[in-house]
Amino acid sequence: MKRLQRVLSCLLLCALLAGTAGIPASALSDVPEDFWAKEDIDRCVTLRYFYPEADGSFGVGKEMSRAEFIAVLCRCLGWKPTSPARAVYKDVSEKEWYAGAVETAYHQGAITSQDGSFRPDDLITRSEAASMLVRALGYGSIAGLIQDMSLPFQDVKANSGYIAMAYGLGLIDGTSVTAFSPNGHVTREQAAAILMRLHDKLHGPTTSRMGIAVSAENLPDLTGYEAVCISAFKLAYNGEPQVTLTMGDAEAQSVRSAASAAGAKALLYISGGAYHVRGGEEEKLAAVLFQAVEEGGYDGLYLDAFGLTTVSQRDTLTAAAQILREKLGERLLYIGVEAPSWKGTIFGYDYAALGEIADRLVLHFNNKKESVAGQTVAPLEPLEQIYYALNRLRAVVDADKLTLLLTSTGFIWDGRESESLTGKQITDLAAERTTRTHYSDRYACAYLVQEEGPDVWYLNGQAIRERIQLARLFGGGRLCLSDLNNALPETLEAMP
């Protein structure tokens, strides 16, 4: 009897694919014009993530099985089902219509096999859907790290990290302000809404790029860059705020000309730390910065303030930024700030106020250095830190203004001191016979293992693309490279 049912199911699927796939989404018999999910359903059918039922309806209100959900998820992510399918789970026959999708999802990491069973016919719960979504995106490790993160839902007792991520990324809402209903089932229209949110985030507007130029030599092609930030001065202090020259006028002019020729804005990049941002000196600070922009003929300013920790420094930076905003007029103002971290509140930055004042709020991260199983790891801008910062700021700063500062050179840490490596040095090391190239899925970061000497950590093309995806999921996607002149070629090529 079961075999007959499976044959009938396969025949029905073929009928759906051949006979009803061409039904216009607007003609679905059970989807009225004012239905809350009509647009999502129409788009899902048009994109063939879903197929109509045999009777020309969508199947509104029908709860989905685990097999059905994994099939539509594979379609949304563009994963081609394995054919011919091979058995991965003991309860999934190779002859089932969904076997190829289940196998593909398993190898992509969207589902796991703890007891060898998949339970394809069980109705999928909201908790399971959240887990599959997060795993499919490659964020299982982050979900494990944030399982203790507070949630507004009082009914979540298990899978909290996955639910927190699916909710934080805006993929699945709660069923009320205080409830997620993790054991509730997912209907076809709810799945359509979820998939279209995912689709729109992954296929959103093209992300923009900018970068910091430290000299006029070895500049890459600047075509497509929103801004080139020229490191011509740095903050200093000698009784009052001032700037000191780090690049000659002729060299700075050469970079400005290259940026202008490529259609990019040329911004003056000036960095400074807590020593340079002192209470009560916001007017002097703003004045000296504006003078440097004005005299250099720049299109704006990128002020990178790092290491601020006190309320006094926070208020001074905010006040100086407001003064600069008024002085600069139509010219651009980018503000660099230390990103919120796992380790607690950073009091040196008023993210909300700066987000309102600045055209871009550039987040820089304190790259972690630690010992894991006796080995020193030093990943650059770890994905988990980026997730935490973007999640903390998603309701605070306009996502379109948030920009990630990414290290475009290599980094060595031997446990005592650090060293930066240029892209050419990384390329030369990777070509050596005694060097092995690796990629850490845990940190989404590449590294080289030398036969003699410490490991070299760097962001390769895959690492850049993973950070672009995460930024897009939060509705943003602006990136800034820390060093255009010495960047790894693969890193440059991966920029949007």
pLDDT at 304 over 60: yes
CA separation (Å) from 257 to 133, 219, 254, 411, 486?
Answer: 46, 12, 5, 31, 19
**CA–CA separation, 58 and 62 (whole Å):** 9
* Token pair of 96 as six digits: 């089932």
Write down the pLDDT at residue 17. 41
Query: With the C-alpha atoms ordered 266, 267, 270, 271, is the resulting torsion angle positive or negative?
Result: negative
- Type of residue at 409: T
Q: How many residues does the chain have?
A: 496
Higher pLDDT, 415 or 211: 211
Question: CA 409, 411, 414 angle in degrees (round to 5)?
Answer: 165
pLDDT band at residue 371 under the 50/70/90 scheme: low
Cβ–Cβ under 8 Å, residues 293 and 230:
no
Cβ–Cβ under 8 Å, residues 296 and 261:
no
pLDDT at 14 over 80: no
Give the residue carrying structure tokens 């845990």.
442
pLDDT at 173 over 80: yes
% of the chain beyond a pLDDT of 90? 80
Burial of 406 (0-12, 13-18, 19+ CB in 10 A): buried
Write down the pLDDT at residue 9. 40
- Type of residue at 121: D
% of the chain beyond a pLDDT of 70? 92
Q: Which residues contact 433 (CB under 8 A, 6 or more apart)?
A: none
Q: For the segment 19-67, what is each residue's pLDDT rounded down to a tens digit?
A: 344 455 557 889 999 999 999 999 999 999 999 999 999 999 999 999 9
- Residues paired with 481 in a beta bridge: 211, 406
Buried b (16+ CB within 10 A) or exposed e, 115-131: eeebebeebbbbbbbbb
Pairing of strands 402-406, 418-421: unpaired
Report the mean per-residue pLDDT for the chain: 90
Lowest model confidence (mean pLDDT) among 16-25, 54-63, 121-130, 482-491: 16-25
Q: Biggest alpha carbon distance in the chain?
A: 89
Backbone angles phi, psi at 456, to 5 degrees: -110, 120
The pTM assigned to this predicted structure is 0.89
Question: CA 161, 164, 166 angle in degrees (round to 5)?
Answer: 110
Q: Which of 123, 124, 126, 122 is nearest to 175 (CA)?
A: 126
pLDDT band at residue 324 under the 50/70/90 scheme: very high
pLDDT band at residue 491 under the 50/70/90 scheme: very high
Q: Which of 18, 41, 22, 21 is nearest to 31 (CA)?
A: 41
Cβ–Cβ under 8 Å, residues 70 and 107:
no
Write down the pLDDT at residue 240. 92
Write down the pLDDT at residue 25. 54
Q: For the segment 245-303, what is each residue's pLDDT rounded down to a tens digit?
A: 999 999 999 999 999 999 999 999 999 999 999 999 999 999 999 999 999 999 999 99
pLDDT at 18 over 70: no
pLDDT at 16 over 60: no
Q: For the segment 416-451, what is each residue's pLDDT rounded down to a tens digit?
A: 677 899 999 999 999 998 999 999 998 999 999 988
Backbone angles phi, psi at 332, to 5 degrees: -80, 150
Q: Which residues contact 239 (CB under 8 A, 6 or more apart)?
A: none
Cβ–Cβ under 8 Å, residues 401 and 333:
no
